[in-house]
Chain A
Amino acid sequence: MKITYREAMRQALHDALAADPRVFLMGEDVGKYGGSYAVSKGFVEEFGPDRIRDTPLSELGFVGAGIGAAIGGMRPIVEVMTVNFSLLALDQIVNTAALYRHMSGGQFSVPVVIRMATGAGRQLAAQHSHSLESWYASVPGITVLAPATVDDARGMLAPALADPDPVVIFEHALLYNFEGELTDAWRTADIRSAKTLRAGRDLTLIAYGGTVWKALEAAVQLAAEGIEAEVVDLRVLRPLDDAAIMDSVRRTHRALIVDEGWRTGSLAGEIMARIMEQAFYDLDAPVARVCSEEVPIPYAKHLEDAALPQVPKIVAAARTLAGKGAAA
């Protein structure tokens, strides 16, 4: 069955709200407006304003309240409109949610789920377009997810809610309208493993969120040139599934990471370091990466396109990595 990413997420939220009275959704415009990305359209009529709770523009306050409600026995799903706005709530997410269990000597768990849109590509300019997943993925105590497929949009929320600790879910804004085939795999989605979306013997493309689809498209083009690229969808950004990454790299001996975050301090950099630590002697070439340019994402379409990882850049980097040179 074909379904949009938005619809998959909507169904996941609906299931969660219907299944457990402790679950509630809170955030800016999740209720009367129907969600800034229309994910929760119609929910307030069905579940009421207590469980589909519109909040003021107080990211620090309402994310902190979600964390407190989780400690108090509820299972809140807090929606932050975009990762860019989540910086206003960073204190509560990092200094409270992530640390709470350890610094209390294990006395309290924080079963909160925080969802936020991320990524560029819609000409929303510098303050609505960044990918800061790596910031969150560097913090012990939280699990960080990046569903890229409709199966994962449908399936990852339930295990995230079942997790007794904080989980942050990144939804790439360009994916909401994306349509994909929903398979039964969503019913067994986990929040620990990476997944190989395409098999290949020549090199491994490692991607997450919005770049997964660019990597898959690049793989199709590379196949036409006789380069068989394997595509690994990370799915989980913390903890990283080292075993899946190394398993693929040990077979292909070449790895290219595609990451919409800025290069410096990127998740791509962390993955490269891990490959070097764990699979250095299996490599036939230095690990490569395609990241966003180190610039605030600009408004003008041609400049925005140039700032982001794009299929031609991925293909070119893959060719070089595979030893096929830059020619085509």
Chain B
Amino acid sequence: MGNWLRSALAVAAKDIRLELRSKTSLLSGTVFAALVLLIFNFARDPTGLSALDLAPSALWVTYAFASIVTLNRGFAVERENAALDGLLLAPLPRGALYLGKYFANFVFVAFIEAVTLPLFVLFFNLDLSTSWWGIMLVAILATAGFLAAGTVFSAMVIRTSFAELMLPVLLLPFMVPPLMAAAESTAHLLGGRPLSEVMGWLRFLALYDLAFVTLCGMTFSFVVDE
């Protein structure tokens, strides 16, 4: 068990180190997310829809797309010099490979979300003083949900011709339950409701995360192994 976890962490550390060298995915993901938020702000009629009404949807659509953009990078990096073969040759449990990739993806998306949140507060003129940590909790759970099936699909679509197009086609239905839960919870929290009122949604998210990470880890071998 210790070895298993160590392998997963080694894979995650390797991915994080790689990304920190080139920074391409982090930078483009952050810029993308900022632009999406900007567009939401410009595209609404300030007299028609209040900032508070639009804010949760804007935030979560942004975060969802940022996740997709980041996921696309996940296995692309293993194509150079057939690095994926190097991983598969090793006595690396495929579930550990999945978890390592998943964790690295999570770190990247968390970074993008953290950087974008102040922009969100700024653009939509919000006060997060009481609700920020509740929103952070929602963000952690929902992002974990986005990336669960996302990591599996990103490994699959690498083998297809239109990888960047295929990933959203496959993934979006899977993103809807966590997206719905996140948007609802965020709306409640932004409206000043206490965290206890969104516990149902948080439990839902936690269950979703657990169920999908487990099943995805178990089926990952069928995706990467011949």
A associates with B: no
